[in-house]
Structure 1
Amino acid sequence: MSQTIHVAITRRVQKEHAEAFERDLAEFARRSLDEPGALGVHLLRPAPGSGSMEYGILRSFASEADREAFYRTDLYKDWLAKVEPMVEGKPIYRELGGLEAWFPHPRGASPPRWKMALLTWIAVWPVSMAVPAALVPLLGERLPRALAAAVIAAGIVVTLTWAVMPLLVKLAAPWLNPTNGDP
């Protein structure tokens, strides 16, 4: 049984190429989702006003084989060649596991586990109350209890994955990954 693979990639972009890089990265990310085994991609831009030019890319693959195949595609190789004049240095790749996949850090260090757990709890608690409150009236008694629970669980996962966690991680970035060495 294969396990989902999460890879965090960091690229440092030259300021004068930031707009073109973002445009090309968004297009590449969109097209890359059509590749076999590509499960998702999240783009992390530098915080406004930070002066940082580090961009993060979090990619998810269905398996190690899918990850390796993706990095051999013409799509990936062409994108690397296209952005080469826009970036400084080589990309930094880091495979992530567990909660680390939600909390990529541009310099490769994950936040402390207690911060990741606390932020995840802050996300899960209200979502686990709101999704059933919204879906139970719609589902009523139409579905068997186990199937209704599956629909509710899917609603929670979708809400956390595509809405709540990306927003919370973005909002909490200064706390999760302080740049001045504070805890």
Structure 2
Amino acid sequence: MSSTTDGKHAGAVTVLITRRVKAGHEAAFEQAMADMTAAASSFAGYLGGQLVRPEDEGSGDEANLYHVVFAFDSPEHQQGWQQSPTRSLGLAAIAPHIDGQTQRQVSGLGHWFAAPVGPKQAPPPRWKVAVVTWLGICPTVYALFLTVAPFLVDWPLLPRVMLITALVVLIMTWVVAPKLTQWLKPFLYPARMAP
């Protein structure tokens, strides 16, 4: 799979999918994923994807755990792919090759700093989103390095990074970002002056 990044897509949505592949099914799974990625690339808003193979992560419990990342330029385009018959066919082709449940995480700054309910407001400028994002991520990462990271010292680097970043996304999405958005609403969405 290829990976692309474009700074113009401030509302981009990233989907991280984790699947455990049955022993002996690796080649078939990788081919099915390549077909699915080729299909996704024809959808509006597709930015790219990446397949992380087990050999890229190490061995042991991670020996047959694959991670797939898809990115779309907006939640609407991601939903278009998510709800498409094309994706359903791809999932049907992958199903015989995986064990257990698929884990899925969705992230994106658009989910963190949604506009407040009420009259239509313009989204905040990117620099404000960047400032508020940093105000949330910096203490969150610091707290995780103090509390979680010491227990992961024996893990290979990539799984450590993946767990810490997954925790950052979860904490930001459901705890920190909603509070920051509420507390800093006047900064993100200043009241308009009456004409």
Taking structure 1 as the reference length, the TM-score comes to 0.52
Task: Give me the whole-angstrom Cα distance separating, in 2, the residues matched to 1:68 and 1:33.
Answer: 14
Match of 2:46 among 32, 38, 53: 38
Match of 1:8 in 2: 16
1:50 is aligned to 2:59: yes
AA at the equivalent of 1:12: R
Match of 2:86 in 1: 75
**CA displacement 1:127-176 (0-9 Å, x = unmatched):** xxxxxxxxxxxxxxxxxxxxxxxxxxxxxxxxxxxxxxxxxxxxxx9224
Residues 35 and 90 of structure 2 are in contact (CA less than 8 Å); yes or no, is this contact kept in structure 1? no
Match of 2:25 in 1: 17
Residues 13 and 74 of structure 2 are in contact (CA less than 8 Å); yes or no, is this contact kept in structure 1? yes
Task: Give me the whole-angstrom Cα distance separating, in 2, the residues matched to 1:54 and 1:5.
Answer: 23
Unaligned runs of 5+ residues in structure 1 are 99-111, 115-172
Q: CA deviation at 1:38?
A: 1.2
AA at the equivalent of 2:59: S
Match of 1:159 in 2: none
Task: Give me the whole-angstrom Cα distance separating, in 2, the residues matched to 1:39 and 1:16.
Answer: 31
Root-mean-square deviation over aligned CA pairs = 2.8
**CA displacement 1:49-108 (0-9 Å, x = unmatched):** 61421111111111111111101112110011111111112211112347xxxxxxxxxx
Task: Give me the whole-angstrom Cα distance separating, in 2, the residues matched to 1:90 and 1:18.
Answer: 17
Number of aligned positions between the proteins? 109
SS for the counterpart of 1:67 is: helix
Match of 2:98 among 76, 87, 105: 87
Match of 1:28 among 33, 36, 39: 36
AA at the equivalent of 1:50: S
Correspondence 1:100-139 to 2 at 5 A = 113=141
Match of 1:177 in 2: 159
Task: Give me the whole-angstrom Cα distance separating, in 2, the residues matched to 1:20 and 1:7.
Answer: 22
- Of all paired residues, the percent bearing the same amino acid is 28
Q: CA deviation at 1:11?
A: 0.8
Unaligned runs of 5+ residues in structure 2 are 1-8, 110-139, 143-154, 164-195
Q: CA deviation at 1:15?
A: 0.9
Task: Give me the whole-angstrom Cα distance separating, in 2, the residues matched to 1:65 and 1:178.
Answer: 31
AA at the equivalent of 1:60: A
Task: Give me the whole-angstrom Cα distance separating, in 2, the residues matched to 1:2 and 1:65.
Answer: 14
Structure 1 residues 47 and 72 mapped into 2: Cα distance closer, same or farther (>3 Å)? same
